[in-house]
Amino acid sequence: MIACVDLFCGLGGLTHGLTRGGVSVVAGIDEDRQCRFPYEQNNEAKFIELDVRKLSGGRLRDLWACGTYSLLAGCAPCQPFSTYSQKGRGFRKDSKWDLVADFGRLVLKSQPDLVTMENVPQLIYHQVFRTFCESLSGYHLWWKVIECATYGVPQTRKRLVLLASRIGPIALSPPVANGPDGKPTVRKFISHLSPLGAGDSDPTDALHSACSLSRLNLRRIKASKPGGTWRDWDVSLIARCHRKPSGETYPSVYGRMEWDALSPTITTQSFGYGNGRFGHPEQDRAITLREAAILQTFPDSYRFLPEGVRARFNVLGRLIGNAVPVRIGEVIASSLLNHLETCCGQATNPVPTGRQAAKGGGKSGRRELL
């Protein structure tokens, strides 16, 4: 059995996917207390409210005690590296840069059998990523920037996935052409939800709530075509900033999704019509929080709020946008289990702790894109 601890666990997207894929997640660790309810309501793992910088290797080893193999997993907050936080190629200083380094520190202190990290592609260009890889000396290392859509996530979302093992060579399972259900599209994932107007909520699901729109934005979305841009509008509807030469390069705001295509990357602001191509394909509103969660491959039944509590768009939008898509967690889990099945014919006993256990294990990181 693989016993896993999920660092920076958030709402539980990675945990839920790993669990569905056959990995036993024993605990999720995050300092954001607003994650506790959804994490524990939808997963059997324990939520530990803690700043990862205060976590010790010894505590991790205690949490893994029930497993045959140990897995340290996580997605350190990625805002410092995201294209949404950049101006050109410059990057702002942010204390969250240190969290990737703390992930590496915990690998060194706890020496898990397996490691996985998911993050934004831009991370690979920074010293903190190279330092993290150095903390995996003695591990067989694999990493790649993947197109999530090739694994069944209905978004134009690229992510860095890293796997490491002290047991033997490891890699993410290759995608299956179009997946078992064909090409993932917006229609396949959210067309079954009840129709809403801007500012309305589904009485049976507090998360299926749409932001209100101003009169001007209501006129704009009615003038928007699926897959189109604000360039299709009458000039009276175009924002002043977009009439300037500097604004002409931002055509993807105030757009509608297309039913039979991928959605754009779900961000922390995806509930807002003016924040990207987040208009519903045919209803005159932005997508709801529930629709954003489903496009992140959370199941329809995933509970984000206690009964009777209203959704706070800024809070849940941030948590949903920052989540690891559940489907990616499933793919990582199946890759890890396939890895153990392949390697355990040669090493049927749990690998001893210590860096000497994997002497000769080389790195095989690659920067190619799927």
Residues 64 and 161 in one domain: yes
Residues 237 and 266 in one domain: yes
**pLDDT greater at residue 274 or residue 7:** 7
The answer to whether the pTM exceeds 0.85 is yes
Residues 123 and 15 in one domain: yes
Residues 252 and 309 in one domain: yes
pLDDT in tens, 295-331: 999 999 999 999 989 999 999 999 999 999 999 999 9
Domain residues for the domain of 204 are: 186-322
Q: Establish whether 78 is a catalytic residue.
A: yes
8 Å CB contact between 193 and 281? no
**CATH code, 22:** 3.40.50.150
Residues 159 and 226 in one domain: no
pLDDT in tens, 47-85: 999 999 999 999 999 999 988 999 999 998 865 555 444
Residues 18 and 95 in one domain: yes
Is 364 within a domain? Answer: no
Is 363 within a domain? Answer: no
**CATH code, 208:** 3.90.120.10
Q: Decide if pLDDT at 5 tops 50.
A: yes
Residues 241 and 212 in one domain: yes
The pLDDT assigned to 364 comes to 40
8 Å CB contact between 305 and 207? yes
Report the Cα 37 to chain-centroid distance in Å.
Answer: 19
Residue 365 pLDDT level (bands cut at 50, 70, 90): very low
- What's the CA gap between 294 and 127, in Å, rounded? 34
Is 127 within a domain? Answer: yes
The pLDDT assigned to 84 comes to 46
Is 365 within a domain? Answer: no
Residues 199 and 258 in one domain: yes
Residues 36 and 78 in one domain: yes
Residues 318 and 330 in one domain: no
pLDDT in tens, 230-288: 777 777 787 777 665 654 555 667 889 999 999 999 999 999 998 889 999 999 999 99
Is 280 within a domain? Answer: yes
Which of 4, 9, 35, 78 does the annotation list as catalytic?
78
The closest alpha carbon to 7, from 118, 108, 81, belongs to: 118
Number of domains in the chain: 2
- What's the CA gap between 97 and 102, in Å, rounded? 9
**pLDDT greater at residue 276 or residue 203:** 203
